[in-house]
Amino acid sequence: MENIEKEEMNLSEIIQIVFKRLWWIVAAMLLGLIAAILVNVLMRPVYEAVTLMMINNENAGKLDTDSYRSFAAEEDYYRTQYQLLESRSLLEKVYNQLDLNQYEEFANPRGISKLKNALKIDPVTRSRLVQVKAFAYDPQLAADISNAVSRTFVAENVENRISMGQDVIRALESTEKSKAEQELLNSMPQVVNSDFIKSLKQQAANLETLKAQLSAKYTDQHPEVISVNRQLATIREEINTETRRLVQSIKIELSGQFSGNNIRIVDPAIVPTIPVRPRKLINLLVGLLSGALLGVLVAFGVEFVDQSVKNSEEMDTKLGLPFLGFVPYEKNKKKESEYGTMLKEGNFLKAENVRNIRTMLGFSMADNPNNPFLITSSLQSEGKSYLSSNLLVALAQSGKKVLLIDGDLRRGRVHKVFKLSLDKGLSNIWDKDPKKSDYASNVQPIADVKNLFVMTSGVRPPNPAELLGTPKLADFVAWAKKNYDQVVVDCPAILPVSDTMLWGRYIPQAIFVIRYGKTNVKLAKIALDKLQKAGVKVLGGVIGAYQPQGLSYGKYGYYKSYHYYSDEEEK
């Protein structure tokens, strides 16, 4: 069961990454599509011409008891023919015949190699047919090359079939053979290997031996000598007769072989009308798919090297902070305040997440839930003021009398959120005028949120750090704790100023805000290290501007990935 849940989570994370970097993927797909269009426009059209040939095995029909050897021999024969169709000698003849050097795509050097690359020998499966394909920019030239290769191959095959030595041919056709021609015929394998001629020659050799013995005793007129000579003459005549018979059979066999060619052209190539390259539709599809694949790879690559925090597990493993919750990203309407969702009836995603942070904060501060705390971050624009305003509304809605102090004397923003004047604010408590420096007179109530009071940063002073370092700040914090149930200070970012650490001397606990997918882990660690050295306890981390993929920002429902529930459901 755990493995199934883990696989679901992994799939969910993959989908979130894809949605998060969706524009990267779309941009990569568009780039791939543009590249494919450029290829289609700029690539020179290539035409293909095809000649269909039939190649019959010249030994076909001969009986071979070994079927495997016969099949292997036939396979070798056809492979040999396919190689001969691309042989250099044949291509040189075609190259010279068509004068291909005058064409740019086949010009020297490497003209023959270019011609070979422009050819494709494609056997038709389970047949004796083979396609000779030629590719060229000119459709007519493609047809000429395909036809020339096929015709030259057929002509060479005929020439090879009648390539027997001219001496043998003349010897076979001569009626009055010379001694040399007769010796040539007698040396032919069919004659030499004839068993009948071998036996006759053996008999003749025996008679020659007998004649030599008789000649030593008798004269040539002796009856026995005459008888041996007659037998020798008869045997020699039989040898000549058998030789003539074998020669005649050879002539018949050769005439049968020469009667036809085993290779012929079935369909000559015709001039093509439509180019085979570029394949425009396929190029477009390949461009889109390649762009999508590249975009996904880049998205996951960026995600892999991303040094930001995006979920509760990373908050724990990368920063070692307790996870308090998410603040979802919400695009506010022009006339609606940043905390407007908190005032609406019903369960909305942002409102429920902020209330969950309030609940988790209560657990973290169980020993003393009314202690004041700071809200800070490592850098500017990470969502501190956004969290401060919404969290303080949630705390006020719980019945507490709460005070939000804009502790950023340099770039205060709380007054913009609540649309308040800067004439009253924190910077006034150091004023020499007793009326202006009165703490209570610089606090402003929020009309649309009961129990919520705000002290803005006031007019920016020339020396914020020096003011925060005076004992006046300690007195003010003590006053605020006495008069309000909960005091929260929206502090400036820790890097690069030290204002937050000055606040930490009197309010030694804080919430650390991380911006979803933006805050750099190394910088966050540096900021947390500064807080630790200043003696400030970090209650936990909040991920701001969170963008859950595939979820609406309307009414809140069940959030499967993180199991967040409303306060009523928790009860």
Identify whether residues 115 and 151 lie together within a single domain.
yes
Indicate the SS3 state at residue 148. helix
The pLDDT, as a whole number, for residue 54 is 94
Listed ranges 224-233, 346-355, 411-420; the one with the highest mean pLDDT = 411-420
Nearest to 52 by CA among 128, 130, 121, 120: 130
Encode 387-412: b = buried (16+ Cβ within 10 Å), e = exposed: bbbbbbbbbbbbebebbbbbbbbeeb
What percent of the chain clears pLDDT 90, i.e. is strictly above it? 52
The pLDDT, as a whole number, for residue 396 is 95
Distance of CA 377 to the CA centre of its chain: 39
Tokens read off for 5 = 């849940």
Tokens read off for 200 = 């006759």
Nearest to 479 by CA among 453, 446, 497, 501: 453
Q: Write out the DSSP string of 244-269.
A: HHHHHHHHHHHHHHHTS-SEEEEE--
Identify whether residues 421 and 499 lie together within a single domain.
yes
The arithmetic mean of pLDDT across residues 96-112, rounded, is: 92
Indicate the SS3 state at residue 296. helix
Given a contact cutoff of 8 angstroms between Cβ atoms, the answer to whether 361 and 374 are in contact is no
Nearest to 132 by CA among 277, 337, 269, 292: 269
Host H or E run for residue 284: helix 280-305
Query: How far are the Cα atoms of 164, 249, 333 from residue 254, in angstroms, in the given order?
Result: 10, 9, 99
Query: Does residue 303 lie within any of the structural domains?
Result: no
Angle at 115 between CA 114 and CA 121, to 5 degrees: 120
pLDDT digits (tens, 9 = 90+) for 436-455: 889 999 999 999 999 999 99
Indicate the SS3 state at residue 132. strand
Query: Does residue 506 lie within any of the structural domains?
Result: yes
The pLDDT, as a whole number, for residue 562 is 36
Which neighbouring-strand residues pair with 38? none
Average pLDDT of the chain? 84
Residue 426: is its pLDDT beyond 60?
A: yes
Nearest to 97 by CA among 48, 46, 155: 155
Query: Does residue 436 lie within any of the structural domains?
Result: yes
- Count: domains in the chain: 3
Domain C-terminal end among 146, 163, 180: 163
Residue 9: is its pLDDT beyond 50?
A: no
Query: Does residue 231 lie within any of the structural domains?
Result: yes
Nearest to 499 by CA among 439, 426, 445: 426
Query: How far are the Cα atoms of 142, 324, 369, 545, 569 from residue 363, in angstroms, in the given order?
Result: 82, 10, 8, 23, 17
Domain C-terminal end among 233, 264, 295: 264
Q: How confident is the model at residue 259 (pLDDT cuts 50, 70, 90)?
A: very low
Identify whether residues 360 and 405 lie together within a single domain.
yes
Encode 276-290: b = buried (16+ Cβ within 10 Å), e = exposed: eebeeeebbeebbeb
Nearest to 395 by CA among 367, 442, 357: 357
The arithmetic mean of pLDDT across residues 472-477, rounded, is: 94
Query: Does residue 359 lie within any of the structural domains?
Result: yes
Query: Does residue 279 lie within any of the structural domains?
Result: no
* Distance between start and end Cα atoms, the chain: 28
Nearest to 74 by CA among 52, 55, 50: 55
Identify whether residues 81 and 184 lie together within a single domain.
no
Amino acid at 424: K
Residue 430: is its pLDDT beyond 70?
A: yes
Amino acid at 498: S
The pLDDT, as a whole number, for residue 256 is 52
Euclidean distance between CA atoms 500 and 382, whole angstroms:
15
Euclidean distance between CA atoms 552 and 539, whole angstroms:
30
The pLDDT, as a whole number, for residue 215 is 84
Identify whether residues 54 and 139 lie together within a single domain.
yes
Give the CATH number, domain containing residue 32: 3.30.1890
**Low-confidence winner among 62-71, 214-223, 231-240 (lowest mean pLDDT):** 62-71
Collect all residues with Cβ–Cβ distance below 8 Å to 497 and sequence separation of at least 6. 410, 465
Question: What's 383's DSSP letter?
Answer: S
Q: Which residue has the tokens 């030994």?
A: 59
Query: How far are the Cα atoms of 214, 226, 468 from residue 207, in angstroms, in the given order?
Result: 10, 12, 142
Q: How confident is the model at residue 305 (pLDDT cuts 50, 70, 90)?
A: confident
Identify whether residues 508 and 489 lie together within a single domain.
yes
Tokens read off for 425 = 């604010």
Q: Which residue has the tokens 């068993």?
A: 195
Domain C-terminal end among 230, 264, 298: 264
Identify whether residues 145 and 236 lie together within a single domain.
no
Q: How confident is the model at residue 69 (pLDDT cuts 50, 70, 90)?
A: low
Indicate the SS3 state at residue 129. strand
Residue 257: is its pLDDT beyond 70?
A: no
Write phi, then psi, for 548 (nearest 5 degrees). -70, 125
Identify whether residues 174 and 155 lie together within a single domain.
no
Identify whether residues 139 and 114 lie together within a single domain.
yes
The pLDDT, as a whole number, for residue 204 is 85
Q: Write out the DSSP string of 521-536.
A: HHHHHHHHHHHHHTT-
Give the CATH number, domain containing residue 422: 3.40.50.300
Q: How confident is the model at residue 4 (pLDDT cuts 50, 70, 90)?
A: very low
Residue 80: is its pLDDT beyond 80?
A: yes
**Low-confidence winner among 110-119, 168-177, 422-431, 532-541 (lowest mean pLDDT):** 168-177
pLDDT digits (tens, 9 = 90+) for 183-220: 666 677 777 778 888 888 888 888 888 888 888 888 88
Euclidean distance between CA atoms 111 and 90, whole angstroms:
14
The arithmetic mean of pLDDT across residues 152-163, rounded, is: 79
The arithmetic mean of pLDDT across residues 391-401, rounded, is: 94
Q: Write out the DSSP string of 189-226.
A: HHHHT-HHHHHHHHHHHHHHHHHHHHHTTS-TTSHHHH
Identify whether residues 30 and 178 lie together within a single domain.
no
The pLDDT, as a whole number, for residue 103 is 93
- Count Cβ atoms below 10 Å from residue 65 Cβ, excluding itself: 6
Query: Does residue 11 lie within any of the structural domains?
Result: no
Euclidean distance between CA atoms 444 and 420, whole angstroms:
8
Which neighbouring-strand residues pair with 76? none
User: Rg (Cα) of the chain, in Å, rounded?
Assistant: 51
The arithmetic mean of pLDDT across residues 417-431, rounded, is: 93
Query: How far are the Cα atoms of 60, 249, 313 from residue 200, in angstroms, in the given order?
Result: 35, 20, 104
Query: How far are the Cα atoms of 133, 347, 514 from residue 565, in angstroms, in the given order?
Result: 70, 10, 22
Identify whether residues 192 and 65 lie together within a single domain.
no
Identify whether residues 112 and 236 lie together within a single domain.
no
The pLDDT, as a whole number, for residue 571 is 31
The arithmetic mean of pLDDT across residues 387-391, rounded, is: 94
* Residue 32 vs residue 67, higher pLDDT: 32
Query: Does residue 285 lie within any of the structural domains?
Result: no
The boundaries of the domain holding residue 218 are: 166-264
The pLDDT, as a whole number, for residue 175 is 52
* Residue 108 vs residue 473, higher pLDDT: 473
The pLDDT, as a whole number, for residue 537 is 95
